[in-house]
Amino acid sequence: MDLDTYRAELEASGLSESDLADDPMVQFEAWLEEARRVGVHEPEAMIISTVGAGAVPSSRHVLLRDLNGGFTFFTNYNSQKAKELAEHPDAALCFPWNILARQVRVVGRAERASAEVSDAYFATRPRNSQLGGWASAQSEVLASREELEASLAAAEERFAGREVPRPPNWGGFRIVPYEFEFWQARPFRLHDRFRYRLDDRGDWVIERLWP
């Protein structure tokens, strides 16, 4: 079935509370698995919004690499997003599965992944990506493309003939969620929206929201 037909079926059938898992992580995994199965391009791409100085938000894509009680991605710890997370650990994620007329929003608190987790993931990356981790001063001003290529060449020379270790300023963040919203488009903008939030006892409460 092509994606347009699949999307039309989802819009027609909609989302009801009885469709939802009690645990939002289980629900999220089911939707992610469905997006993979039907061939959504890069379903792991998520937009992360962070808060910077003066409460100014900023958003960009990252790739979800692991789901382990949280949403793990990897980046440069000197990047804008990483500096903002260090100052303001609350972060918002958005999975833009608009090709399926779906969207998932998550709000959570960021914590750095352990060195072991970051090392293990870094070791799985292609060598050129590993060298790129050393070569890039992510989010700093770069004078020219040539400067980037020279920096990559310097990293190649430095690690010639040996394994590339993880740069100390590169690693994971895990966003530990405290709120979710699952959104399914319906005809005439009468969409289905369900929010999961944690109550005082730490149990998930599901509420339908006006579209």
Q: Which residues are catalytic?
A: 189
| Residue 77: how many other CB atoms lie within 10 Å | 19
When the beta carbons of 22 and 42 are compared against ligand FMN, the nearer one is: 42
The residues that touch ligand FMN, with contacts defined as CB under 6 A, are 42, 45, 58, 60-63, 73-75, 79-81, 138-139
Q: How far is the CB of 59 from ligand FMN (least distance, A)?
A: 8
For 119, residues 6+ apart whose C-beta sits below 8 A from its C-beta are: 166
Instruction: Report d(CA 192, CA 14) in Å as an integer.
Output: 7
Residue 17: CB minimum distance to ligand FMN, A: 32
Q: Which is nearer to ligand FMN, 96 or 187 (CB)?
A: 96
Given the DSSP bridges, would you call strands 192-198 and 90-95 parallel, antiparallel or unpaired? unpaired
Amino acid, res. 44: E
User: Distance (Å, rounded) from C-alpha 37 to C-alpha 27?
Assistant: 15
Q: Is 202 exposed, middle or buried (0-12, 13-18, 19+ CB in 10 A)?
A: exposed
Name the residue nearer to ligand FMN (CB basis): 60 or 197.
60
At closest approach, how far in Å is the CB of 50 from ligand FMN? 8
Q: Quote the least distance from Cβ 44 to ligand FMN, whole Å.
A: 8
Which strand (E) or helix (H) includes residue 184? strand 170-184
Q: Which is nearer to ligand FMN, 142 or 205 (CB)?
A: 142
CB within 8 Å of 46: residues ≥ 6 apart: 61, 62, 63, 64, 71, 73, 93, 94, 95
